[in-house]
């Protein structure tokens, strides 16, 4: 999933090493990701995150081609449809989300191995406890994931 495919400027960016403090997101997006995770449980759900003006304002559910409780693969058709739709609506795809039906909202070794884009946001919805836990993570070159806070914007 390269959100910047075809963007020549992305090749010239320095690796992100400074900690990004928080992610601006609408509460309804968090609620929708939790609902999606609950609907797809006990399998992992997955989707993309669209933003306008630096605020994540829409989750775009996608099919998990793995249909697994421990791994996900966003259907490429859903990915390209989301990219096209976001462009036509003046948005950008800034991240992806998936669920951990039985484990914490902490990236797994598989999540780290599959993450390649430092400008991308990685959100995990955990259903491992009675109250869902939603956490955002950014990838830092050579360091792995850093947890980011949410700034709820409504």
Which pLDDT score is estimated for 19?
A: 53
DSSP-assigned states of every residue in 123-146: EEEE-SSSS-EEEEEEEETTTEEE
* Mean pLDDT computed over 104-133: 96
Q: Domains of the chain (ranges plus CATH)? A: 39-135 (3.40.140.10)
At 141, the pLDDT band (50, 70, 90 cuts) reads confident
Which pLDDT score is estimated for 7?
A: 37
DSSP-assigned states of every residue in 26-48: -HHHHHHHHHHHHHHTTSPPEEE
């Amino acid at each position: 999933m390269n959100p910047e495919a075809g963007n020549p400027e992305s090749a010239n960016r320095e690796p992100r090493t400074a900690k990004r403090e928080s992610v601006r997101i609408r509460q309804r997006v968090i609620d929708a990701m939790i609902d999606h995770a609950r609907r797809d449980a006990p399998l992992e759900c997955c989707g993309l995150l669209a933003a306008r003006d630096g605020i994540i304002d829409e989750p775009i559910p996608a099919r998990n081609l793995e249909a697994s409780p421990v791994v996900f693969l966003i259907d490429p058709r859903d990915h390209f449809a989301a990219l096209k739709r976001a462009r036509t609506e003046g948005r950008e795809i800034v991240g992806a989300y998936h669920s951990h039906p039985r484990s914490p909202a902490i990236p797994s070794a598989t999540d780290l191995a599959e993450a390649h884009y430092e400008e991308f946001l990685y959100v995990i919805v955990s259903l491992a406890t009675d109250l869902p836990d939603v956490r955002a993570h950014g990838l830092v070159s050579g360091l792995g994931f850093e947890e980011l806070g949410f700034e709820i914007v409504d």
